[in-house]
């Protein structure tokens, strides 16, 4: 049974955590690997280097909108192909466990599951654009 009082809070926690994770990954590509280095890495995988810039932008905008709670269902669904691409091009061949060399696919797959949950749940509490018809949290007894 779902507790309708706390379910919106749980959805918000998941949405915000996933958004922060995307912001962290965008930051990694921007400030550690640099956009040019990320583009070079994408090229080494046989992908168009320009796709790196689109990926960084999607992670940045997607992360911000998830944290803010703006169109979370749509954004969560739209971010899934990025993680599927990471599994197919980098993490899948490395095996399941993420501590394998080049990181396995367990972490990106679990991240996808979280995005699917947000797509099904909606924005949750404290969203700038709440999902219509979804109850807001009431913590009163």
- Report the distance separating Cα 38 and Cα 29, nearest Å: 6
Q: Read off the pTM.
A: 0.88
How far is 104 from 43, CA to CA, in rounded Å? 20
What angle is formed at CA 23 by the lines to CA 107 and CA 11, rounded to 5 degrees? 70
Which pairs count as long-range contacts for 110-114, CB under 8 Å and 24+ apart, including other chains?
111/18, 111/21, 111/83, 112/80, 112/83, 112/84, 114/14, 114/17, 114/18
Tell me if 128 sits within 8 A of 70, measured CB to CB.
yes
What pLDDT, on the 0 to 100 scale, is given for residue 71? 94
Per residue in 8-49, pLDDT (tens digit) is: 999 999 999 999 999 999 999 999 999 999 999 999 999 999
Per-domain residue ranges for the chain?
12-121
Report DSSP state, residue 122.
-
pLDDT at 95 over 70: yes
């Amino acid at each position: 049974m779902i507790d309708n009082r706390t379910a919106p809070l749980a959805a918000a926690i998941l949405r915000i955590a996933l958004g922060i994770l995307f912001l962290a990954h965008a930051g990694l590509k921007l400030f550690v690997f640099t956009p040019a280095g990320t583009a070079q890495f994408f090229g080494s995988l046989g992908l168009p280097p320009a796709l790196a810039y689109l990926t960084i932008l999607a992670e940045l905008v997607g992360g911000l909108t998830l944290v803010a709670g703006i169109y979370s269902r749509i954004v969560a669904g739209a971010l899934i192909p990025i993680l599927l691409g990471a599994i197919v091009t980098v993490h899948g061949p490395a095996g399941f466990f993420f501590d394998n060399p080049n990181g396995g696919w367990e972490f990106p797959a679990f991240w996808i599951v979280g995005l699917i949950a947000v797509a099904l749940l909606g924005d949750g509490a404290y969203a700038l654009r709440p999902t219509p018809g979804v109850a807001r949290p009431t913590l009163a007894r």
